[in-house]
């Protein structure tokens, strides 16, 4: 007597997460819900299979209720859904582009070495007073030089238009490479406790600078900043993609 072949088992991945009022909820929804909850730093118990399934069922029930009431036809809701779809497609296009243009290890290392070289070997802690005119800057230097009675911190709080004014002009520890060239050059030419003899002009205005102290730069190791460098290079790639699309698009 011939035997009947056993039915082929349905792959777990294709089995619905649930069936709500006859509507199958794709298992893939579980991944979306988990990712969303992880981004929102929700409690670990919200990531269990039962909690995720419950979240999916709730979402489908609410969506079904909205459709039943015709809310999906509301112009604002319909436009929002289309916009979300457009954003999702945009993210998919970016991910596809990044996959097609992977950043090589040698590129990451070269970028690291370049950043390390630009950073130099020394960090500087400086204060500054930023004003609108050379005349104002010279008057401040004169006050600081007159018997050294005026305190730099007090004058910074009173006259500086920079956000550091509330901290007495303190910029914290900075690297010359991260500053405008004119400021960096003047700062690096000072000795500890010394104040610029002449105002320093940059695109922000006129500066009076005092060097507080210096220390040897402890540049982070490659493995510790590799991910950050990759992210920066990817942002540059995305910017390149957008420019290419804009250049070939017809926008009226």
pLDDT at 208: 98
Residues 61-115 pLDDT 10s:
999 999 999 999 999 999 999 999 999 999 999 999 999 999 999 999 999 999 9
pLDDT at 20 over 70: yes
Residue 198 structure tokens: 């002449």
Q: Which helix (H) or strand (E) holds 122?
A: strand 122-131
Please tell me which residue, 7 or 37, carries the higher pLDDT value. 37
The band of 13, judged by pLDDT with boundaries at 50, 70 and 90, is low
Residue 193's closest CA among 214, 224, 176?
Answer: 214
CATH class of 121-216: alpha beta
pLDDT at 197 over 60: yes
Say if CB 143 and CB 193 are below 8 A apart.
no
Q: Can you tell me the distance from the alpha carbon of 63 to that of 61, in angstroms, rounded to the nearest whole number?
A: 5
Percent share of the chain, pLDDT over 90? 90
pLDDT at 11: 46
Over residues 10-26, the mean pLDDT reads: 82
pLDDT at 226: 96
Over residues 200-221, the mean pLDDT reads: 96
Domain borders along the chain are 15-73, 74-120+219-247, 121-216
The band of 147, judged by pLDDT with boundaries at 50, 70 and 90, is low
pLDDT at 173 over 70: yes
Over residues 128-157, the mean pLDDT reads: 92
Q: Is the pTM of this model over 0.85?
A: no
The string of DSSP codes covering 221-240 is PHHHHHHHHHHHHHHHHHHH
Over residues 218-234, the mean pLDDT reads: 95
pLDDT at 1: 40
């Amino acid at each position: 007597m011939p035997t009947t072949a056993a039915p082929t088992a349905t792959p777990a991945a294709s089995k619905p997460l649930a069936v709500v009022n006859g509507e199958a909820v794709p298992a893939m929804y579980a991944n979306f819900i988990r990712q969303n909850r992880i981004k929102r730093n929700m409690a670990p118990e919200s990531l269990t299979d039962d909690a995720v399934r419950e979240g999916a069922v709730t979402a489908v029930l609410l969506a079904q209720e909205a459709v039943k009431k015709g809310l999906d036809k509301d112009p604002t809701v319909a436009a929002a859904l289309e916009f979300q779809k457009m954003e999702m497609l945009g993210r998919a296009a970016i991910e596809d582009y990044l996959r097609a243009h992977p950043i090589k290890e040698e590129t990451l290392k070269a970028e690291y070495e370049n950043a390390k070289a630009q950073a130099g070997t020394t960090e500087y802690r400086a204060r500054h007073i930023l004003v609108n005119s050379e005349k104002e800057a010279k008057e401040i230097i004169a006050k600081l030089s007159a018997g050294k009675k005026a305190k730099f911190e007090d004058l910074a709080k009173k006259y500086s238009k920079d956000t550091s004014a509330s901290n007495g002009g303190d910029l914290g520890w900075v690297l010359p490479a991260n500053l405008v060239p004119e400021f960096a050059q003047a700062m690096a030419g000072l000795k500890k406790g010394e104040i610029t003899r002449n105002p320093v002009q940059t695109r922000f205005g006129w500066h009076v600078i005092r060097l507080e102290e210096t220390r040897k730069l402890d540049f982070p190791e490659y493995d510790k900043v590799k991910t950050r460098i990759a992210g920066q290079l990817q942002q540059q790639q995305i910017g390149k993609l957008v420019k290419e699309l804009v250049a070939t698009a017809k926008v009226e």
